[in-house]
């Protein structure tokens, strides 16, 4: 079962709410003998951390991670790795407008319908704050994968404006507040998002995550498919409504001969692909090509603009969400998507070892 756990052999279980004392996770199954310290994890948390620009929530959280177990003298021991981050900036704001009403398009309603009780403060368990622990776990997953596997992400679309592939430059990604791979587009987005924020509104986005040098053979044929696990992983991120592998929905428009990724031999006699429509996955198993995943993020439902709704008492009402919210949650979804990619690949790396490997003694 997987209410709050993710992965099978590299297994991450998260806990915590937006306004509790802390959030944390347990990583079970991490191999022993891997050098690991807080310094390996903190940079990824810093990348996801809110309050770094005017385009994300202004909540101030240092997000300092602590390793609580599973590491001895700087090395993983094979036992569960407990990670924890304190919640610091739980502003004691007035939640009266959402404590008993449901934001249209928000989990407020469905948590209430399912459980009959919810911690409404900051969204409780449905808050994107939980993703901090995904990012922390992703940092450990990267260590399991090794430095050869390179996982990078970018925001490639905001609203209707999509990056031209020809303008894509990975170096630009870390130089703007949007993880945008085109400096020029980033400037345009900045203007647009400032206006959206001023309007008290929000906007959707598309993110793309690419993993290079992924070993061939990760995945499984039927229900443990690498792409199926990636789809679940990305769809489990807050506000995500669609996932594509490789060409994704564009593949529906292709004919067989155009979609086929033809193969030749490279200079070393290895397989060289002439295209990557498949996004690095065939039959649920990695081919050795870059694994390419895109996901769509809806606009956050916490907006200042009033929307018609109902409340717990069964009366009609209007909801306008004040508080600190991301005008474009797609931005901070980039490091989260990278982390999910890392976790899925690490899980499948261990799964492949189980079925195809041998004991390294």
Scan residues 285-344 and list those touching a copy of itself (CB under 8 A): 285-288, 296-303, 305, 307-310, 314-316, 330
Cα 263 to its chain centre, rounded Å, is 32
Stretch that binds a copy of itself, among 9-17, 41-49, 163-171, 173-181 (CB under 8 A): 9-17
Cβ atoms of 302 and 323 closer than 8 Å: yes
Stretch that binds a copy of itself, among 51-59, 146-154, 177-185, 244-252 (CB under 8 A): 244-252
- At closest approach, how far in Å is the CB of 105 from a copy of itself? 4
Residues making up the chain, counted from first to last = 361
- Of the candidates 346, 357, 336, 335, the residue with the CA atom closest to the CA atom of residue 76: 346
- 111 sits near a copy of itself (criterion: CB under 8 A): yes
- 256 sits near a copy of itself (criterion: CB under 8 A): yes
Q: Which two tokens stand for residue 317?
A: 């009402």
Interaction pattern, residues 54-93, with a copy of itself; x per rule: CB under 8 A = ------------x-xxx-x--xxxxxxxx-----------
- At closest approach, how far in Å is the CB of 10 from a copy of itself? 9
- 348 sits near a copy of itself (criterion: CB under 8 A): no
Cβ atoms of 288 and 214 closer than 8 Å: yes
Q: Is 127 annotated as a binding residue?
A: yes
Q: Which of 169, 177, 190, 248 binds a copy of itself (CB under 8 A)?
A: 248
Q: Which two tokens stand for residue 90?
A: 């739980």
**Of 55 and 171, which CB lies nearer to a copy of itself in the complex structure?**
55
Question: Scanning residues 18 to 47, which ones bind a copy of itself (CB under 8 A)?
Answer: 20-24, 26, 28-33
Cβ atoms of 148 and 213 closer than 8 Å: yes
Q: Are strands 75-76 and 71-72 parallel, antiparallel or unpaired?
A: antiparallel
- At closest approach, how far in Å is the CB of 53 from a copy of itself? 19
Q: Which two tokens stand for residue 167?
A: 């303008």
Q: Is 59 annotated as a binding residue?
A: no
Q: Is 283 annotated as a binding residue?
A: yes
- Of the candidates 62, 72, 13, 41, the residue with the CA atom closest to the CA atom of residue 335: 41
Q: Is 241 annotated as a binding residue?
A: no
C-alpha to C-alpha distance for 69 and 80, rounded to whole angstroms: 7
**Phi and psi (nearest 5°) for 218?**
-85, 135
Cβ atoms of 25 and 290 closer than 8 Å: no
- 202 sits near a copy of itself (criterion: CB under 8 A): yes
Q: How far are the Cα atoms of 212, 219, 285 from residue 355, in angstroms, in the given order?
A: 23, 11, 14
Stretch that binds a copy of itself, among 168-176, 181-189, 234-242, 331-339 (CB under 8 A): 234-242
Stretch that binds a copy of itself, among 164-172, 175-183, 250-258, 331-339 (CB under 8 A): 250-258
Which letter does DSSP use for residue 234 in this model? Answer: H
**Of 2 and 64, which CB lies nearer to a copy of itself in the complex structure?**
2
Interaction pattern, residues 161-190, with a copy of itself; x per rule: CB under 8 A = ------------------------------
Q: How many CA atoms within 13 Å lie on the side-chain side of 327?
A: 23
Q: Is 125 annotated as a binding residue?
A: yes
Sign of CA dihedral 28, 31, 34, 40: negative
Q: Which of 98, 205, 209, 291 binds a copy of itself (CB under 8 A)?
A: 205
- 254 sits near a copy of itself (criterion: CB under 8 A): yes
Q: How many CA atoms within 13 Å lie on the side-chain side of 148?
A: 4
Q: Which two tokens stand for residue 3?
A: 């209410």
**Phi and psi (nearest 5°) for 347?**
-60, -45
- 277 sits near a copy of itself (criterion: CB under 8 A): yes
Residues annotated within a binding site for FMN: 125-127, 238-239, 283, 298-302, 324
Residues annotated within a binding site: 48, 125-127, 238-239, 283, 298-302, 324
Residues annotated within a binding site for NADP(+): 48
């Amino acid at each position: 079962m997987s209410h709050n756990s993710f992965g099978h052999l590299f297994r991450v279980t998260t806990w915590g709410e937006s306004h509790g004392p802390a959030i944390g996770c347990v990583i079970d199954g991490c191999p022993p003998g891997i050098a690991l310290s807080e310094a390996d994890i903190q940079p990824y948390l810093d990348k996801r951390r809110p309050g770094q620009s005017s385009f994300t929530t202004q909540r101030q959280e240092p997000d300092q991670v602590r390793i609580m177990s599973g590491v001895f003298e700087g090395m993983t021991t094979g036992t569960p790795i407990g990670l924890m981050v304190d919640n610091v900036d739980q502003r004691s704001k007035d939640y009266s407008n959402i404590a008993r009403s449901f934001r249209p398009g928000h989990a407020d309603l469905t948590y209430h319908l399912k459980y009959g009780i919810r911690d409404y403060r900051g969204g409780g368990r449905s808050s994107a704050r939980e993703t901090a622990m995904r990012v922390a776990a992703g940092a450990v997953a990267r260590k399991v994968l090794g430095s050869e596997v390179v996982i990078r992400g970018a925001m490639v679309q905001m609203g209707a404006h999509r990056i031209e592939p020809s303008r894509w430059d990975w170096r630009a990604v870390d130089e703007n507040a949007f993880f945008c791979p085109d400096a020029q587009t980033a400037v345009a987005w900045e203007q647009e998002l400032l206006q959206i924020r001023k309007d008290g509104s929000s906007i959707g986005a598309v993110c793309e995550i690419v993993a290079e040098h992924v070993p061939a053979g990760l995945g499984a044929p039927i229900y443990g498919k690498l792409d199926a696990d990636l789809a679940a992983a990305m769809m489990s991120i807050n506000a995500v409504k669609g996932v594509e592998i490789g060409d994704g929905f564009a593949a529906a428009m292709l004919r067989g001969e155009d979609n086929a990724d033809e193969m030749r031999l490279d200079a070393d006699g290895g397989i060289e692909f002439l295209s990557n429509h498949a996004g690095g996955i065939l039959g649920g198993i990695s081919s050795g090509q870059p694994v390419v995943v895109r996901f769509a993020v809806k606009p956050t439902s916490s907006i200042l603009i009033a929307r018609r709704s109902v409340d717990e008492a069964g009366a009609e009402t209007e909801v306008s969400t004040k508080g600190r919210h991301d005008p474009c949650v797609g931005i901070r979804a980039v490091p989260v998507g990278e982390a999910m990619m890392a976790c899925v690949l690490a899980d499948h790396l261990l799964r492949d070892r189980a079925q195809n490997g041998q004991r390294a003694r």
